[in-house]
Amino acid sequence: MQRQAAPNIQATIPDKPYQIGKITVVPTSPVIGAEIRGVDISQDLSAETAFAITQVWHTHLVLLFRGQDLTPEQHIAFSAYFGTPQSPNRTSFTPMTEKYPEIIEVMNVDMDQKRIEYSLSNAEAFWHTDMSYKSIPPLGSALYSREVPPSGGNTCVSNMYLAYEDMPEAFLEEIMDKSAVHDASRNSAGRLRPGFEDEQDPSKTPGPHHPLVRIHPETGRKALFLGRRPYSYIPGLSVEDSEDLLDRLWAHATQDKYAWCHQWDVGDLLLWDNRCAMHRRDPFDIKHRRVMHRTQIAGNRPY
């Protein structure tokens, strides 16, 4: 099978700060993430700046913008530099999401300031890709923090190009040309979506089939594309073999060496590329408020 040689991580991803025009790029780790300084993303961007940000995004997969003061309109307008903001399937509505269908509120408090258990609430959110239960998942999401707890609730991201390139040849052979079913019946918190049965047999999981290795349409690079672990299934295998292969694949892909974690301040915006990065969240104390706004940007059918 043709693939890139095992990467020299230090050589392929810059790990020292650098400058592009007025933008300063400060890598947050040698494997993934860069902070962009010198841009107020609430304002219109020049074509030059938008292009530079997109190039840096492709290099580092996840961008961090600190100290931003955004209205929902500005958050959506910034997202639109990278594609078309998309509204998700909703199981709950708030006045905010009724007014701005492109925004999801990821939070643990409701409008009456009571602690809530829907949305992602305060639990740990295991490694995943956003909305891969759709046949055309978003290309990325922009998560903006409005209120954060004093500790916990960090968001981690990991580089799925590296996870792919780092796979031993024999392991790659095992997954070559295989796809997985991405569960459409449950949300990230594991709750059933309306209209779905609680099907426990993974070989009967409803949802789209996506290739385990996808090609990023902009960079041309291959990345592991796993979605979420629960109720995933590899068609063509027995449930036992599928579970075994998926367990090994997830153990490989979720190693710390591909990841970096962000500790939030209010006003941070994290833009991740959903095609080549996964993300997860640490739990936090439910007695503290955590309110985030997320946009998602329409993508392509994975191939």
* Footprint on this chain of Mn ion (rule: CB under 5 A): 130
**Nearest C-alpha neighbor of 255 from the set 63, 124, 154, 127:** 127
* Residue 188 or 242 having the CB closest to Mn ion: 188
Quick one: 134 or 294, whose CB is closer to ligand OGA? 294
Q: Write b or e for each residue in 168-203: b if 16 or more Cβ atoms lie within 10 A of its Cβ, otherwise e.
A: eeeeeeebeebbbbbbbbbbbeeeeeeeeeeeeebe
Q: What are phi and psi of 165, to 5 degrees?
A: -65, -20
Nearer to ligand OGA, 35 or 165 (CB): 35
Q: How many CA atoms lie within 13 A of 251 on its CB side?
A: 7
Q: Minimal distance in Å, beta carbon 73 to ligand OGA?
A: 20
Q: Smaller CB distance to ligand OGA: residue 106 or 181? A: 106
Least Å distance, CB 197 to Mn ion, is 24
* Beta carbon of residue 206, minimum distance to Mn ion (angstroms, whole number): 20
Other CB atoms within 10 A of residue 146 CB = 14
Closest CB 68 distance from Mn ion, rounded Å:
20
The item of ligand OGA, Mn ion, none sharing an interface with residue 294, based on CB under 5 to 8 Å by kind, is ligand OGA
Partner from ligand OGA, Mn ion, none contacting 143, C-beta within 5 to 8 A by type: ligand OGA
Residue 143 CB, nearest approach to Mn ion (Å) = 8
| Contact partner, 281, from Mn ion, ligand OGA, none, Cβ < 5-8 Å per class | ligand OGA
Nearer to ligand OGA, 214 or 290 (CB): 290
Q: How far is the CB of 88 from Mn ion (least distance, A)?
A: 11
**Alpha-carbon span 40 to 173, nearest angstrom:** 46
Residues in Cβ contact with 111 at an 8 Å cutoff, skipping those fewer than 6 apart: 94, 95
> Are the C-beta atoms of 157 and 277 separated by less than 8 Å?
yes
292 makes contact, choosing from Mn ion, ligand OGA, none, with CB < 5 to 8 Å by partner type, with ligand OGA
Judged by beta carbon, residue 75 or residue 281, the one nearer ligand OGA is 281
- Site residues, ligand OGA (CB under 6 A): 106, 120, 125, 130, 141, 143, 155, 279, 281, 292, 294
| Angle, CA 93 vertex, CA 92 and CA 94 arms, to 5° | 135
Q: CA separation (Å) from 10 to 126, 221, 260?
A: 27, 18, 15
Kindly state the DSSP code that residue 243 receives in the 8-state scheme.
H
Closest CA to 276 of 129, 104, 105: 129
Question: Minimum distance from CB of 132 to Mn ion (Å)?
Answer: 10
Burial letters for 86-105: b for 16+ Cβ neighbours within 10 Å, e otherwise? bebeeeeebeebeebebbbb
Q: Which is nearer to Mn ion, 165 or 228 (CB)?
A: 228
